[in-house]
């Protein structure tokens, strides 16, 4: 018979905790492990489930990539097709590169107003391809030696995204946003060293065209002083709103139009994206060398109210299922009628914030509900109906439905109306 005292003295061979300090202590042939160490081991294994080698056979076809993008990204058909082809060709190049023909990189530059889906497309693309992905904000970058982040920090982020698996990171995707904010300074400032504009473009050029850089491991999990990182097979996607480019393109195109052909001028004004060229980007302030390393130019159209409605009702990235889930934790169901969805789409369209503004508009209408959710649950509320987007009028307030089936207008509801509606 085992002595109870001896049993209590047993401890985990990994963390040293006694049996009475943990929920379970599992015995092995010559050692013990506690439930807490098992949980930690499980988390470590899950975190490190990263393939050692990238297998081209797992790369989906352009049609499969676009089908995945369609589930999340509404509209932007042209952009989704181009990105799907670029990604597919990029990884074909990696695995079928021959010495006879040198295949250039399929880097991309995307143009589109805020909220049109530039970042979402890139994120969803990387998700489908199952490759490391990172986002860098070009506005924070400066030349090496100056206050700010140098361009090599972009590679550090990519390595962090895959637990510093260098081989895998070298086949990842880097999304550089706000590249238009790094347009070089005007000629009037030509005598001043441009550390945040053209200088950063020059530094990025090396990374984008493919080079070997030394990256410090910093505070990462690995303890190297530095590593050599080859960017040759990294796919770079640069993007920006390029505010004012439409006027520049229209001015160029309309010079070719007949002086009194107003119909042609109006048409050009509305679909200027179709006329954008790489030369326009150079005129805007990107250096020719950088533009030349971004051969695929993709423009995203402004979203319509109809697009906004589809985003709210059909996209996997819609905020509607997210807020519904939050209320379900309090055992309250949220119901939004069609007019509410249309109202939100109209507000976002008027504010010109694109899809990015939908989340803030929806959440603004729910702040008061979320604040009172526990109290509403206690009072027996099981469902909350929004017939339309609330205003200061009580008639537009949500309806509360109770467990006994009774309904009443939520007279305690409050909303802070912001911006254009």
pLDDT for 266 equals: 52
354 and 377 belong to one structural domain = yes
* Domain of residue 186, CATH code: 3.40.50.300
Report yes or no on 245 lying in a domain. yes
Please report whether residue 417 resides in a domain.
no
Residue 418 placed within a domain? no
- Helix (H) or strand (E) holding 409, with range, is strand 407-409
Q: Examine the domain organization and report whether 311 and 393 are in the same domain.
A: yes
**pTM score of the predicted model:** 0.80
Q: Please check whether residue 414 lies inside any domain of the structure.
A: no
pLDDT at 38 over 70: yes
pLDDT tens digit sequence for 108-135? 999 999 999 999 999 999 999 999 999 9
| Residues 260 and 202 placed together within one structural domain of the fold | yes
Evaluate if residue 84 carries a pLDDT over 90: yes
Q: Is residue 419 part of a domain?
A: no
Residue 293: inside a domain, yes or no? yes
pLDDT band with cut points at 50, 70 and 90 for residue 24: confident
Predicted pLDDT of residue 51: 44
pLDDT tens digits for range 69-81? 999 999 999 999 9
**Which pLDDT band, with edges at 50, 70 and 90, does 98 fall under?**
low
pLDDT at 193 over 80: no
pLDDT of residue 43 exceeding 70, the answer is no
Pair 109, 194 in one domain: yes
Give the residue from 211, 209, 233, 234 showing the smallest Cα distance to 292.
209
- Same-domain check for residues 311 and 294: no
Task: Check whether 95 has a pLDDT greater than 90.
Answer: no
Where a domain ends, among 265, 299, 333?
A: 299
**DSSP state, 393?**
S
Same domain, 201 and 75: yes
Last residue of a domain, one of 299, 321, 341: 299
pLDDT value for 192: 45
pLDDT of 201 over the 60 cut = yes
Domain ranges, residue 377? 305-409
CA distances (Å), origin 311, targets 55, 113, 264, 340, 345: 33, 17, 32, 14, 9
In the chain, the number of structural domains is 3
Give yes or no for residue 188 having a pLDDT over 50.
Answer: no
Distance CA 333, CA 58 (A): 40
pLDDT surpassing 90 at residue 42: no
Are residues 351 and 222 part of one domain?
no
Q: Is the pLDDT of residue 231 over 70?
A: yes
State the pLDDT confidence band at 32, using cuts at 50, 70 and 90.
confident
Q: Is the pLDDT of residue 58 over 80?
A: no
Do 220 and 343 share a structural domain? Answer: no
88 and 120 share a domain?
A: yes
| pLDDT score, position 44 | 60
Q: Which residue has the higher pLDDT, 18 or 398?
A: 398
Residues 42 and 125 placed together within one structural domain of the fold: no
- Among 277, 299, 321, which residue terminates a domain? 299
Kindly state whether residues 81 and 128 are assigned to the same domain: yes
How confident is residue 90, by pLDDT bands cut at 50, 70 and 90?
A: very high
Q: Whose CA is closest to 278, among 270, 267, 286?
A: 286
* pLDDT value for 10: 82
Cβ neighbour number for residue 256 with a 10 Å cutoff: 9
CATH label of the domain that carries residue 381: 1.10.8.60
pLDDT of residue 218: 53
Which DSSP string corresponds to 144-200?
A: TTSSSB-THHHHHHHHHTTTT-HHHHTT-EEEEE-GGGGPPPPGGGTTS--TTTHHH
Predicted pLDDT at 221 = 46
On whether both 106 and 252 belong to a single domain, the answer is yes
pLDDT band at residue 350 under the 50/70/90 scheme: very high
Q: What is the reported pLDDT for 196? A: 61
* Average pLDDT value for the chain: 85
The mean pLDDT of 196-211, rounded to a whole number, is 89
pLDDT, tens digit (0-9, with 9 covering 90-100), for 262-318: 555 555 445 788 899 999 999 999 999 999 999 999 999 999 999 999 999 999 999
Q: Does residue 127 lie in a domain region?
A: yes
CA 154, CA 159: separation in Å to the nearest integer? 9
| DSSP bridge partners of 35 | none
Q: Give the residue from 113, 49, 44, 159 showing the smallest Cα distance to 354.
A: 113
Domain contains 388: yes
CA 11 distance to own-chain centroid = 46
């Amino acid at each position: 018979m085992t002595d109870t005292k001896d049993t209590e003295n047993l401890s985990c061979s990994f963390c040293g905790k006694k049996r009475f300090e943990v929920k379970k202590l599992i015995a092995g042939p010559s050692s013990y492990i506690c439930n807490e160490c098992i949980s930690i081991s499980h988390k470590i294994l899950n975190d490190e489930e990263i393939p050692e080698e990238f297998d081209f056979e797992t790369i989906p076809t352009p049609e499969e990539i676009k089908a995945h993008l369609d589930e999340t990204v509404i509209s932007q058909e042209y952009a989704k097709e181009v990105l799907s082809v670029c990604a597919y060709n990029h990884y074909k190049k990696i695995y079928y590169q021959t010495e006879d023909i040198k295949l250039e990189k399929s880097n991309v530059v995307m143009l589109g107003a805020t909220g049109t889906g530039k970042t979402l497309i890139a994120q969803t693309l990387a998700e489908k391809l199952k490759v490391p992905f990172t986002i860098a904000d070009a506005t924070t970058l400066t030349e090496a030696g100056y206050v700010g982040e140098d361009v090599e920090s972009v590679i550090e982020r990519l390595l962090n995204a895959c637990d510093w698996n260098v081989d895998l990171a070298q086949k990842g995707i880097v999304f550089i946003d706000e590249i238009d904010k790094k347009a070089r300074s005007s000629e009037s400032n030509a005598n001043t060293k441009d550390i945040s504009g053209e200088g950063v473009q020059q530094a990025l050029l090396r990374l984008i065209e493919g080079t070997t850089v030394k990256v410090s491991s910093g505070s990462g999990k690995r303890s190297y002083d530095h590593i050599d990182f080859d960017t040759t097979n990294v796919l770079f996607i640069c993007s920006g709103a390029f505010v004012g480019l439409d006027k520049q393109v229209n001015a160029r195109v309309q010079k070719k139009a007949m002086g009194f052909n107003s119909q042609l001028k109006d048409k050009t004004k509305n679909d200027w994206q179709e006329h954008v060229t790489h030369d326009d980007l150079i005129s805007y302030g990107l250096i020719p060398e950088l533009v030349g390393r971004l051969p695929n130019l993709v423009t995203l159209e402004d979203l319509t109210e109809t697009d906004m409605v589809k985003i709210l009702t059909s996209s996997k990235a819609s905020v509607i299922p997210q807020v519904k889930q939050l209320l379900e934790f309090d055992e309250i169901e949220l119901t939004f009628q069609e007019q509410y969805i249309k109202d939100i789409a109209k507000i976002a369209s008027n504010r010109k914030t694109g899809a990015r503004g939908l989340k803030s508009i929806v959440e603004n209408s729910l702040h008061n509900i979320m604040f009172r959710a526990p109290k509403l649950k206690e009072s027996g509320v099981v469902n909350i109906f929004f017939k339309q987007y609330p205003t200061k009028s009580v008639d537009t307030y949500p309806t509360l439905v109770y467990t006994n089936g009774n309904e009443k207008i939520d007279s305690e509801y409050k909303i802070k109306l912001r911006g254009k509606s």
